[in-house]
Chains A and B, each alone.
Chain A
């Protein structure tokens, strides 16, 4: 915590501002308050100028390492585009798919990215609705994960098309051929749901961003100011504006939650509507939603830890946040365990030959290493570690757990997509998928894009919603301790 950097401005004429209240005289009380401020961001009230600076300083000064990273990531993005072009020119056969495994890494990435795109909305909208106050500083980091993960997820169905140059046939537009897309196909439900979710997420994130952009506008000059001026939409921070803002946020929060649930349910229908063993399951809707939230929470934890360490956001991101997120992850892990158990048990009990074959393949066959790794990463490790608060607040440990959860959830999608497809009703046509260089490069490239877009975003827009922090601190003061209210009033 940058305690020593806090410079105290001179007291105003109206007395001490609310952020400069002296500690209680009683030593025991003073100690308690110091402890409480250390632990809780919302109690640790500081001068707004300082808080703004905590946020803006790391945005302004970039290390050489940052630029090197940007160049490397941009190289990765170019590699993605080049490989995509190569794939489009030569044919999708450069990928390792074959008969019968027609979907592989691209669809895995699609499902995975849609999945991690869930956490943003969940943390910002659902936790907002449920009034989890500690979510305040982390909501934007999560929403940003959603934005970029979703945009990459939306690209994958195009990458995986055999004739990508005909992608517009998937869109409903009037044409002389009198042909429309087929709404029988889950592949059209997908874009509908995803585009709805994507546009809602953009608006939701943007609305929450407006006051902070206005803050940036007020603290910058020249071109940057012009830039922020455009996006700030003339925000001045009047009561009326805040009231509108609040209403809009609430409306979106309530509205986007069902969309969020529907999106991954619909993604799951891509699979559960099919006749394929390992796919044809009624539990897939909620199972996919939980899986998405699980991996998404993990992804947000990773993003937060990296942001905190690289952008010096120790003031905003405190152990309490990681503690909360980790507890969420634990709950989601247990829920995932339940759904997976359910998804496993039903076919096991039914005992259809092809399901049994698939289960044998996963338990003792060639894919056993993947299956056990998935179970260990998704069920065992969170359950063993996250019960302990020490681990939940130890960033190194939490980072490792979150990464393992990503590995586990990615493997889960691999097991669902290419591994399930490898088995079907006629043993003559079983098969296997072998990973090839092009899809590896495209996968790496899109993740490079995701990270690059994310880090550039963090340098342009405040990744901590400062207004939410201020609001939270103020509300907290109002709600909790009477004398803060007095101080607030005196500050005005």
Chain B
């Protein structure tokens, strides 16, 4: 009998085959997983038990101490370092999200050269080749090297950069990013120099103040130190001194601070200085039962003639309210005036800032007592460690001028993203075109790295060494330590190590940068520290410094506080109503740019946690909003979700209308952060960049804009049900009582 393939037989075999397949499917081979033990176990690691390493957060310049939970070599969670004097175990949203920078899927895994700037044609190279190229270019450039950095770079890197540039005769690194410039760090220092004789950033003892008048400062927002002022705010509210503080916020668009204020006054944009001056004038001309009679005397130093009605008309704050502000400020025991970063973006920035700081000057700061403003102290540490010093916008323009003139042969970009961050009018594009070689140290290809010739990917802060000197927002000398908490991912190298290696070949630099690597450098610096609260004697300083997350003075050393403030003869006070850029007819609205509380100045845009989390005030994520008052929206005929074009004399962007009840009807508010072209999959193609609306001058806060509808509408990616929240239940208020 010969088997024949008949239809029946075929079916029979086919059935058998199917049966076998089903059987094979039951025996699932993927059931087994492999367990790979350590070859040599790290002594502090136990399987299944988390280990916490202390380091420093680098998501903004504040420098909070963090501890990172490590299990099986992976960083799982960042928490605040409970021992750290600045943040006492607390952390903000951005700090929590730092893990996604470490594990970002868009990180470069090797150095790359780009053939043609902006082409995105990257070719991976070996580190030796990358370092050699950098070395060749640096050597060829002589002293025509420029460095552009961001404010949250580690102190030791800034130190090394400074030594390198000065050794080869190049100009000092320019530190610029919008977060710093929009918070007016540089201008504030100038004002403090003029008022108090010390170019330092002020620190506010919010927790111990009783009356706080904030002139547009978003203390609880992302500006200065969200965590520190958050902690202070908790104390301010719970009445550590037996009473609940009183917070007045003057700003055109309600910020987080405005939302928590006891009195929110929508002042006309740019007029905060006039309000401050009016208060000073009123204090000088009135007599209250002030706890300190000298206050009136000091006020008289600044005061001029006061015309309440005129000021009221200009600022939008009624005379009654001005009198109220003056009275509470003069009569308070520990009042505090806080200038907002927006004041530094006015044409005459220093006048407004001075007026606000003068209020603090008038209060006079009881020596040693709680409350009030203080200036970051100077001590022996400041000779050992440095903090990246932000440069002013004009410094940046000088650098750009040099670049345009062809006086820069090699540009190094570290920790900043100027192509995204600078307004078009600043002319960075032309300037870059004149620079023969641009080297970026970005771990992720951002807009600037896309314009670079060579990218030497730096490690993210969770994999690298460093330190940070706390400033601003803190009045103790504290150095926060930074160490790698996980084995570095990818073939990335720390910029400091790369620079130290390169410096070896440049004779002038080799002399001042003789360390083998950054750890040797750091160890040498740290070894010189005096005994602190958590560091032991000389033998174990380094270990304990790393273990506890930094160096800070022993508890015995009291905060130096306001006593350090010395007054010079004050300059005369002249605040004038600022001139806004743009014709009022053509551009009817004031532009209020503010720093997004999650994405910051855009550096957080590549982290999905920050992108997808709702903005606290608008509850919108992923999108760029054009916030306007509902009345205005009705007037110009736009509604929520409408795509509008916002145009200023300098540029135009598209955004989605969001009607925001707590803002002036003559103002348009836009948050920074979105509108990336590069910078990874989460950042690119979302929203638009409002910095494009600003011209090439420091006066970024005095621009007028126009809003025109494009006729399109989109769905907002919003968390709240907007009509529900706005209309709520009939006759029923906020469910929170």
Q: Say how far A183's CB is from chain B's closest CB, in angstroms.
A: 34
Q: Does B661 contact A (CB under 8 A)?
A: no
Contact yes or no, B724 A428, CB < 8 A: yes
The verdict on B732 contacting chain A, using a C-beta distance below 8 Å, is yes
A429 and B719 alpha carbons, distance in the complex (Å)? 8
Q: How far is the CA of A356 from the CA of B727 in the complex (A)?
A: 13
List B residues 621-643 near A (Cβ within 8 Å): none
Does any Cβ of B come within 8 Å of A353's Cβ?
yes
Name the B residues within 8 Å of A428 (CB-CB). Answer: 719-721, 724-725
Instruction: Using CB atoms, name the residue of chain B closest to A423.
Output: B724
Distance, CA A425 to CA B728, complexed state (A): 10
Q: Which residues of A contact B735 (CB under 8 A)?
A: 425-426
A360 contact set on B, CB distance < 8 A? 730
**Contact partner, B721, options A354, A356, A425, A431, Cβ 8 Å:** A431
Report whether A427 and B721 are in contact in the complex, using a CB–CB cutoff of 8 Å. Answer: yes
A430 within 8 A of B: yes
How does the 8 Å CB contact mask read for A421-439 relative to B, with 1 for contact and 0 for none?
0010111111100000000
A353 touches B729 (CB 8 A): yes
User: Using Cβ atoms and an 8 Å threshold, which residues of chain A touch B723?
Assistant: 430
Residue A357 is within 8 A (CB to CB) of chain B in the complex: yes
Question: Are B732 and A353 in contact, CB atoms less than 8 angstroms apart?
Answer: yes
Whether B730 contacts A353 by the Cβ 8 Å rule is yes
Does B724 contact A356, Cβ atoms closer than 8 Å? no
By DSSP majority rule, is chain B's interface helix, strand, loop, or mixed?
loop
- Using a CB-CB cutoff of 8 Å, which residues 693-737 of chain B contact chain A? 719-721, 723-725, 727-732, 735
Measured in the bound complex, the distance between the Cα atoms of B109 and A266 in whole Å is 61
Chain A nearest CB, measured from B730 CB (Å): 6
A207 shortest CB reach to chain B, Å: 40
Interface residues in A195-226 by Cβ distance below 8 A to B read none
Task: Determine if B725 and A356 form an interchain contact, defined as CB atoms under 8 angstroms apart.
Answer: no
Cβ distance A427 to chain B, nearest Cβ, rounded Å: 3
A353 / chain B contacts, CB cutoff of 8 Å:
729-732
Contact status A354-B729, CB under 8 Å? yes
Residues A427 and B724 in contact, CB atoms below 8 Å apart: yes
- The docked-state distance in angstroms from the alpha carbon of A328 to that of B421 is 74
**Residue in B719, B721, B727, B735 whose Cβ sees the most chain A Cβ within 10 Å:** B721
Closest A residue to B720 using CB positions: A428
Q: How far apart sit A67 and B730, CA to CA, in the bound complex (Å)?
A: 58
Write out the residue numbers on chain B whose beta carbons fall within 8 Å of the beta carbon of A423. Answer: 724
The A contact surface, by secondary structure, is helix
Chain A residues with CB under 8 A of B720? 428
Q: Are A427 and B725 in contact (CB under 8 A)?
A: yes
B130 smallest CB distance to A (angstroms): 44
Contact status B730-A430, CB under 8 Å: no
Could you tell me the distance between the alpha carbons of A356 and B729 in the complex, rounded to whole angstroms?
Answer: 8
**B residues near A430, Cβ cutoff 8 Å:** 721, 723-724
Who on chain A is nearest to B723 by CB? A430
Which A41-88 residues have a C-beta within 8 angstroms of B?
none
B729 adjacent to A357 (CB under 8 Å): yes
B716: min CB distance to chain A, Å:
13
A429: B residues at CB distance < 8 A: 721
Q: Closest CB of chain A to B162's CB: distance in Å?
A: 50
Residues of chain A within 8 A (CB-CB) of B732 are 353
Q: Give, as a whole number of angstroms, the nearest-CB distance from A433 to chain B.
A: 13
Q: Chain A 258-294 against B: per-residue CB contact (8 Å), 1 yes, 0 no?
A: 0000000000000000000000000000000000000
A357 and B725: CB pair below 8 A?
no
Specify which chain A residues have a CB less than 8 angstroms from the CB of B725 in the assembled complex. Answer: 427-428
Contacts of B730 in A (CB 8 A): 353, 356-357, 360
Cα separation A427 to B727 with both chains bound (whole Å): 9
A356 CB contacts on chain B under 8 angstroms: 729-730
- What 0/1 pattern do residues 226 to 238 of A give for CB contact below 8 A with B? 0000000000000
For B721, the chain A residues whose CB sits under 8 A away are 427-431
CA distance A427 to B726 in the complex (A): 9
B397, chain A: closest CB distance, angstroms: 46
Of B720, B723, B729, the most chain A CB neighbours within 10 A belong to B729
Q: How far is the CB of B222 from chain A (nearest CB, A)?
A: 23
Q: How far is the CA of A354 from the CA of B721 in the complex (A)?
A: 15
In the bound assembly, the distance between CA atoms of A426 and B719 in angstroms comes to: 13
| Docked CA distance A429–B614 (Å) | 14
Question: Which residues from A are CB-within-8-Å of B724?
Answer: 423, 427-428, 430
A356 to B721, CA, bound (A): 17
A353 to B727, CA, bound (A): 12
Bound complex: CA A430 to CA B722 (Å): 9
Bound Cα distance from A423 to B719, whole angstroms:
15
Residues of the A chain whose Cβ atoms lie less than 8 Å from the Cβ of B728: 427
Question: Which residue of chain B has its CB nearest to the CB of A431?
Answer: B721
Closest to B731 in A: A353
**Complex alpha-carbon distance, A423 and B729, angstroms:** 10
Binary per-residue interface labels of chain A (340-375) against chain B in the complex, 1 for a CB within 8 Å, 0 otherwise: 000000000000011011001000000000000000
Could you say which of A353, A360, A427, A429 has the most chain B C-beta atoms within 10 Å of its C-beta? A427
Nearest-CB distance from B259 to chain A (Å)? Answer: 15
How many Å lie between the Cα of A159 and that of B719 in the bound state?
28
Name the residue on A nearest B728 (C-beta). Answer: A427
Complex contacts, A431 vs chain B, CB 8 Å:
721
> How far apart sit A354 and B732, CA to CA, in the bound complex (Å)?
10
- State the Cβ distance, B490 to closest chain A Cβ, in Å: 33
How far does the alpha carbon of A439 sit from the alpha carbon of B194 in the complex, in Å?
Answer: 70
Measured CB to CB, the nearest residue on chain B to A351 is: B730
Name the residue of chain B whose CB is nearest to the CB of A366. B723
A430 to B735, CA, bound (A): 14
Measured CB to CB, the closest approach of chain B to A424, in angstroms, equals: 9
Rounded to whole angstroms, the CA-CA distance of A343 and B7 in the bound complex is 66
- Nearest-CB distance from A374 to chain B (Å)? 23
Most A CB contacts (10 A, CB to CB) among B723, B724, B728, B731 go to B724
- A456–B727 Cα distance when bound, in Å, is 54
Closest B residue by C-beta to A357: B729
Q: Which residue on A lies nearest to B729, using beta carbons?
A: A353
**A419–B728 alpha-carbon span in the complex (Å):** 17
Expressed in whole angstroms, the minimum distance between the Cβ of B4 and any Cβ of chain A is 32
Smallest distance from the beta carbon of B553 to chain A beta carbons, Å? 46
List B contacts of A354 (CB < 8 A): 729
Q: Which residues of chain B are within 8 angstroms of A357 by Cβ–Cβ distance?
A: 729-730
A114 to B724, CA, bound (A): 34
Instruction: Give Cα distance in the complex from A95 to B22, angstroms.
Output: 32
A360 to B728: give the CA distance in the assembly, Å: 12
Closest Cβ neighbor of A422 among chain B residues:
B721
What is the minimal beta-carbon distance from A266 to any residue of chain B, in angstroms?
32
Q: Which of A353, A423, A425, A428 has the most CB of B within 10 A?
A: A428
A101 to B720, CA, bound (A): 14
Interface string of A401-444 (1 = CB under 8 A from B): 00000000000000000000001011111110000000000000
Nearest-CB residue, chain A, relative to B735: A426
B465 to chain A, nearest CB (A): 44
Alpha-carbon distance between A356 and B732 when the two chains are bound, in angstroms: 12
Q: Which of chain B's residues has its CB closest to A353's CB?
A: B729
Which residues A173-199 have CB closer than 8 A to chain B?
A: none
Q: Which residue of A lies closest to B734 (CB)?
A: A427
A360 to B735 Cα, complex, angstroms: 20
Task: Specify which chain A residues have a CB less than 8 angstroms from the CB of B729 in the assembled complex.
Answer: 353-354, 356-357, 427
Q: CA separation between A427 and B728, bound complex, in Å?
A: 6
**Nearest-Cβ distance from residue A273 to partner chain B, whole angstroms:** 24
> CA A429 – CA B720 in complex, angstroms?
6
Q: Closest CB-CB distance, B342 to chain A, in whole Å?
A: 30
9 A-B residue contacts at CB 8 Å?
Answer: A356-B729, A356-B730, A423-B724, A427-B727, A427-B729, A428-B720, A428-B725, A430-B721, A430-B723
- Report the 8 A-B pairs with minimum CB-CB distance, sorted nearest first: A427-B724, A353-B729, A430-B721, A430-B724, A428-B720, A427-B728, A353-B732, A427-B725
Other A-B pairs beyond A353-B730, A423-B724, A427-B727, 14, CB < 8 Å: A353-B731, A357-B729, A357-B730, A360-B730, A426-B735, A427-B721, A427-B725, A427-B729, A428-B720, A428-B721, A429-B721, A430-B721, A430-B724, A431-B721
Residues of A within 8 A of B (CB): 353-354, 356-357, 360, 423, 425-431
- Residue positions of B touching A, CB distance < 8 A: 719-721, 723-725, 727-732, 735
